[in-house]
Amino acid sequence: MDKEKLEELEKRKKQDLFLRRLFLVSMAIVIVMMIIGLMVTYHQHHPHPQKYPMTTVVTHVSRTTNTVTVQDFNGNLWQFKGVEDWDIGDICSCIMSDNGTELIDDDKIVKVKYDGRFSGWK
């Protein structure tokens, strides 16, 4: 009878250990799923700024304010600092940031690159 009780006790210990492990694994899965859900929700409500290219033409260079004004082919005017060798009619390739919004009014120039001249610009 002692042997049967020991076997029963051993069997219960194994079952108890299995249930504890199952509980811990289940809780770990739930926690990971909650973290993933929070990350997805955060990124949906806090979009990251996207970058996009835009070709412009230099329309004004102010050496006194060190500002170059460029115009895209939709008629929008943009400015950046650093007149260096820029001249009216130069083609300027810009890398733009949308600041995480759909509006173009708050977009910013991130980087500019000289891309040649456009003699037909007025």
pLDDT digits (tens, 9 = 90+) for 30-61: 999 999 888 887 766 667 789 999 999 999 99
- Residue 80 β-bridge partners: 68
The answer to whether the pTM exceeds 0.85 is no
Mean pLDDT estimate for the chain: 90
What is the structure's pLDDT at 121? Answer: 56
Q: Is 83 left (phi over 0), alpha (psi -120 to 50) or beta?
A: alpha
CA distance 34 to 110: 36
Nearest by Cα to 4 from 58, 12, 79: 12
